[in-house]
Structures are given as structure tokens and as C-alpha cells.
Structure 1
Amino acid sequence: MPTTPRPAVVVVNYGSVHLATAALRPFAGTSWTRVLVDCWSSPAERARVVAAGSAQDWTLVLPGKNLGFGGGADAGIRAARDAGCDVSLVLNPDASLGLDAADALVADVADDARLLVAPAVRTPQGRDWFTGAVVDMRRGRTRRGTPTGPDDVPWVSGACFAASTERLLDVGGFGPEYFLYWEDVDLSVRWTRSGGRLALRDDLTCVHDAGGTQEGTARGTGHGRGKSPQYHYYNTRNRLLFASRHVARERWGGWLRATPGHTREVLLRGGRRAVVRHPLRTLWPALRGTAAGLRCLATARRTEPAAAAIMPATADRKGLMDGAR
């Protein structure tokens, strides 16, 4: 990697160009390449994106459909590579990161191309939103914190991270089949299994207004309607999609036994009242997502060899998380 890296910031937009504009603002007038991927939402939004991109010299990627977060980020990372950028910083449109923190993340990657590094992510009120997390490979449950046992595998939030552009593409990017949710868990696992390392810089902070890109009802603030149908569907489906790809068949039993509890937990994140009052946008999508996830497992059983069990990940003295190989 060159001594002086060429960084790009990649933002995926869906109907919220005002937020994306704010996310990209700290990088204006710098050597950073600013890549905006506009997942199709409407002709009016596309026109606003094109006008803003022209006025502010963004590199625009304009797919004709909604690629989802993972597919959109992958398209942006490819555009960063085509622009000659060797480090990509992926940033949610409803997140903000100062230029000094962004430069620090890029410097870490420039020193070690195997590194995927993220800052601590906090809410506008200063509460911790992401300061490290693990997925329990016995049951398929995620929790905050660092590994405490051999079945805990760490992962890094896709809300904000930096990594080598080429290496991101070499490992296959996010994997667009997830569309929303669990794509960052999947990428983190593939990153470490391919010899990479994950790191959390808790001395750097990204502010994330979680759910700001969705309507108020999708954020659990819309008159008791709870989270969006997409939230319920993809959170339940993608957990089992992940299992079908990364968990050995003999360990699926633990994931299946934990599935009813996980589905209930996802439903209640939007509030019990929303489930009762609006079952067609809460309960029904969660049940459909669970069924779709079970079909992923059934398809994998019929067509694929057993997945290799993921080896545990451990933290070194510097807090860098290495995947066992």
C-alpha cells in the first residue's frame, strides 16, 4: 500500500440525500474521494441526488433499483477502486464522523492492510450504540461486548469502518443477498477467516442517529407503529441465512432452538403495542422472515456440503481481534 493512502468515503443513500449531504460535508475540500450510491427510491430523489452531486463534486453511482445497504456499499467500494482509492471508509448517511477521526482510521489501514477498523459509535445523546459485539455461534444470538468464550465470534458494525479497498473486494464485499441487517456480521466473519483482523478504536467516535434514514415509524417513534416491516423481515431471515453459510450443520440445532426467542425479541424491539395494533407490519413480516430463513437452511442442506465451523476469535494485547486460522 502506498505511504500516502488515497482514501474514499462511501455513503449509500435511499431517499435521504439531505442526511447523506451532511455525512459527506466534513470531507469537502480535502483529498478524499466522496462516493455516493443512490439506491433508487423515486425520480424526485434521483434528481436531487444528481443536482447535489454535480454541485459538490461527488462520485455518483446511480443504480436503477434499490440494492440494499450491502449491495449499495459494494457498488461504492468498486467505484472507489476505479477512482484509484486504496482505502475505503464506509459511512451510514445518518452518521457523522470528524475528519481527524477518519484520517486516523485510514492511517491504521495504511499501516496494516489486513485491518478492518471502526470507531466507537454513539447516539446524538452520547449513549453507546456500538462499542464491540459478538455472535454466539452455538445459538445465533448477538450481544454487545468482547468474546468471553470459545463460541463467541466478534464482528464490527457496518455503520462506520475503514478497510483496504482491494481486500474488501477480494473477500467478496458485503454480499448483497442480505439486503439489510446481518451483512456486517457476515463480512466480519469472512474477513477474519481470510486472515484479516478486526479492531475497534474506542478513542474515536462516530455519532449515529440510528434509523434516521427511515421514516419515523421505522424508528419506533411513529405513533406506536413500531419498526419497519423490512426491519422485522430481514432481521429474522438473515440470521438463518448467515447460519446456512457459516455454521456447520451439526450446530444448526442450537440456532433452530433459539429461533422462536430471537423472533420474539426482534418483534418487541418496536414495542409490544405495535405488535398488537399493527400485526401486518410487525408480526407477519417477522414470521415471513423466519420462514424464509428456514428455507435457506433447507436449501443449504440439499445443495451444499456442510459448512466449516467458525473457529473462535481472540483479542490481542492491543485490542485487535484476530480470527483463528
Structure 2
Amino acid sequence: MHPAVVVVSYGSHSLLEANLRPLEHEWDVVVVDNRTTDAEAHAIEALCETRGWTLVAPGTNLGFGAGCNVGADVALERGADVLLFLNPDARVEADPARALATAVLADPGLLLAPRVVRADGSTWFQGASLDVRTGRTASRLPRPGECLWLTGACLAVSGVGWRTRGGFDDAYFLYWEDVDLSWRWVRNGGRLGVDEALLCVHEVGGTQAEAPQQGRGKSPLYVYFNCRNRLLFAARNLGARDRARWAWRALPYARDVVLRGGRRALLRPRRSVLPAVRGTGAGLRALAQRRR
């Protein structure tokens, strides 16, 4: 077995040494630097050289999914037969990582995630659902009529499965790319799994402003891409009736995304309302292009 862990870093070099330490002796470590500053680029280059990791430096910010794809290509070229995609703010110990690798190597059609917990031990992810009728996701296992999807925070796949069923869709840039991958994986004959006995610890929001910051709410990027990419997913994957349903619910969804950062986010409309309007507009244009 030749496993590789692929990490897409965005200003996150300070997290990598501790979080990748459990894997670096058994795994080929590939770090993709989505560029932020010159200082960060120099720091991550020095870290990778010191630790013996493979650095991929595209010189720009590719986004999460595209960064994963580039890292996977490099890992596979180096002979990897198992890929583990891991957030910089996530940590998985050697034994559960090995178990994930063994499982997907034995079943190339399997896309597998562990149970992901917060630092306090509470569960952050053990499967998530998508309601195709409404376009809503939920952090729980699917109910009848809903679909399972897996988080990209910690995700294992065989090299054969990755080559056969394809990787992330570069178009999403950030958010919803893991929902899209899960959907296409099943559509292309694969299956999804969550092994609740295997744990990954995730410092949620350690690399992106997913949590409210000093009363300012979610980041503009979070709001924009969540609103846009929900509709982009519909445009790329759903039939006409479901696309219409998702479009009809676009504004209520955008409101809910803004309010995930608390009602005080409304006091800063340039950081919240404006990105929601822009993201929703971009998503609706993607739907309109699909109808042509």
C-alpha cells in the first residue's frame, strides 16, 4: 500500500506540522499552497523542505476542490494508490488513517469518511443529508427521500476509484464541492460510507471564517459561495422540476446563510447581504444558462 495525504493550505502553515505529524512516517504528504502572501509562501516552503513533504505551489488561489485535484494528480504520479484529503485544521491519528486506507483499497467503489469530532469531543460530522426537493442540507444522516453526502474535511478514496469516477468539480471554488462529489460518485456507480468507529478531530473554522468573528458574522466568501454554489449544483446535476424548486427557494436560503452568523450580521450589509445577493444572482444565471 502506498497512501498519500493531500492537504490544501490557505494561510495555514502554522497548523500543518502538528496535524500532519501522525501521518508523515507512513504517508506521502502532498501540500498544495493556495497562495496568500509572500511570507506565507516562504514559510510553507521551508516547512515542507524541513519535513520532507511534497509542495505544490501554483502561485495563486485555486480554491479547495481544484487544489485537491492538483494535489491528487501529483500524489498519483508519485505512485499513490490511496488518497486521503484532509483539512489543515483536521487531525487523524495513524491507526484510523490506516483503517480508512485499507477499507478503500479493498473496495475501489467506496468513498469513505470517519466520524469527525470537535476538539471538545462533540460530533461535528457523522454523515450529512441533502433534500433534493428543497435544496437544503443538514448535518445528520438522511431521512427517507434525502441523499447522503460526505464532508471534504477528511475523505478517503482509492487511486483506482478516483481515476474511474473523477475528482472535485473545479467550478465550485469553495463550499458545496463535497456535496457535488458525493452526488456524482453515487451517480457513477460508487457508494458512500461513514465509519463511526474511526475518528478525526477538526478545529472547525481554523482555516476559513466559518464562525462569527467579533460580531461580524460569516465571511463574505462564505456567504457568496454558499448562495452561488447551491444553485450551481442544481444547474449541473438536477432535472428541470427540481431546478425550478431550488430557484424558488433561493432568497429564503440566502437569508438563512446570512443569519448563520447571527442577526448582527445584518448591521454590516456589505459583508453579508451584498455577497448573498451577488452569489444568488450568479447561481440564478447558471440555472438560466442550463435552460438554453
Work out whether residues 139 and 257 of structure 1, in 8 Å CA contact, stay in contact via their aligned partners in 2: no
Alpha-carbon distance, 1:221 to partner: 4.1
Q: Indicate the SS of the match to 1:205.
A: strand
In structure 2, what is the equivalent of residue 62 of structure 1? Answer: 57
Alignment TM-score, normalising by the size of structure 1: 0.87
Q: Indicate the SS of the match to 1:297.
A: helix
Alpha-carbon distance, 1:161 to partner: 1.0
Is residue 177 of structure 2 the alignment partner of residue 183 of structure 1? yes
Is residue 135 of structure 2 the alignment partner of residue 140 of structure 1? yes
Counterpart amino acid of 1:290? Answer: T
Q: 1:287 aligns with which of 259, 277, 283?
A: 277
In structure 2, what is the equivalent of residue 49 of structure 1? Answer: 44
Alpha-carbon distance, 1:144 to partner: 2.6
> 1-side partners of 2:69 and 2:4: how far apart?
13
Q: 1:247 aligns with which of 227, 238, 242?
A: 238
Is residue 148 of structure 2 the alignment partner of residue 154 of structure 1? yes
In structure 1, what is the equivalent of residue 18 of structure 2? Answer: 22
> 1-side partners of 2:165 and 2:83: how far apart?
14
Counterpart amino acid of 1:242? Answer: F
Q: Indicate the SS of the match to 2:179.
A: helix
> 2-side partners of 1:228 and 1:148: how far apart?
31
In structure 2, what is the equivalent of residue 323 of structure 1? Answer: none
1:117-155 per-residue CA deviation (whole Å, 9 max, x = no partner) reads: 1001111122211111111111111113233223x1110
Work out whether residues 78 and 169 of structure 1, in 8 Å CA contact, stay in contact via their aligned partners in 2: no
Q: How does 1:182-261 map to 2 (within 5 A)?
A: 182-214=176-208, 218-261=209-252
Alpha-carbon distance, 1:171 to partner: 2.5
Structure 1 range deviating more: 111-120 or 19-28: 19-28
Please, which runs of 5 or more residues in structure 1 have no aligned partner?
A: 303-325
* Percentage of identical aligned residues: 49
Q: 2:76 aligns with which of 77, 81, 90?
A: 81
Is residue 267 of structure 2 the alignment partner of residue 272 of structure 1? no
Work out whether residues 220 and 271 of structure 1, in 8 Å CA contact, stay in contact via their aligned partners in 2: no
Q: CA RMSD, aligned part only?
A: 1.2
Give the count of matched residue pairs. Answer: 292
Alpha-carbon distance, 1:255 to partner: 0.9
Is residue 258 of structure 2 the alignment partner of residue 263 of structure 1? no
Counterpart amino acid of 1:154? Answer: L
Alpha-carbon distance, 1:167 to partner: 2.3
Alignment TM-score, normalising by the size of structure 2: 0.97
Q: 1:296 aligns with which of 286, 289, 292?
A: 286
Work out whether residues 236 and 290 of structure 1, in 8 Å CA contact, stay in contact via their aligned partners in 2: yes
> 2-side partners of 1:185 and 1:220: how far apart?
20
